[in-house]
Amino acid sequence: MPNYQYCIVEDEGRIRIVTLNRPSVLNAMHSEAHWELDGVWNEFAANPDLWVGIITGAGERAFSAGNDLKVQAAGRRTPRPATGFAGLSHRFDLEKPLIAAVNGIAMGGGFETALACDIIIAAENAVFALPEPRVGLIAGSGVHRLPRMLPQKHALGMLLTGRRVSAEEGQRLGFVNEVVPAGEALAAAKRWAAQILECSPMAIRATKQSVYRSLDEPTLQQAMTTTYPAVQANLDSEDYIEGPRAFSEKRRPDWKNR
């Protein structure tokens, strides 16, 4: 495993755990960090032995406070990778499932990074916000992702005020899957990842791809009659046979990811 400057990367079996590691600035990120994380997630996507990703933040105070405004104010801001904040906010082709384990502050780009994940687990001390307009900016991906996840008025209520939302309210609004005691977000994320790993990795990717791509279809009929690439790959796979065979033989399936 390479030595990373702005994150910690640990692979536990089929799971990649990425920890944003700038706790002295509440895990705020700058361009160099985004490029480093872009490489981390590119490698994760290409590695056939890694099936689920988890992203979290170092320490209990913050998942990520977002953009490092001090770096920007000093005029040292350089272009981000095409994949955006933390190498995730503008990434649209990752079929493997991602879980955000949010501890403490998740604001601006930090919240946008969590929104780019498929599942959000929040500690009780988690706080979410898109406060960019308060400093003359806009939430580049948040203004698009949040209204696609929440009722429009709820999304605009956050976007137009920059207000802070607790973990409990986030669950009530619908963008948080589970709220756990402080300090237990990562453990809960691993529990969710373990449940995902019980399923066929190819079926999981076909499911994720179908969900997101079908949202762009003009009608339900078009969505349901379209065979997406990951769906076809699953139909052609050994795992497509292994699942029913294991069920009939009353044993756990031995997924091969092929």
Catalytic sites, residue numbers: 112, 132
Q: Are 157 and 172 in contact (CB under 8 A)?
A: no
Cα 253 versus chain centre, distance? 27
Cα 200 to Cα 46: distance, rounded to the nearest angstrom? 18
Cα 154 to Cα 171: distance, rounded to the nearest angstrom? 13
Whole-angstrom CA distances from 56 to 195, 215, 235 are 19, 27, 34
| CA neighbor of 31 nearest in space, from 2, 4, 59, 6 | 6
The type of residue at 243 is G
Question: Which backbone phi and psi does 36 adopt, to 5 degrees?
Answer: -60, -45
Tokens of residue 150, six digits? 């929440």
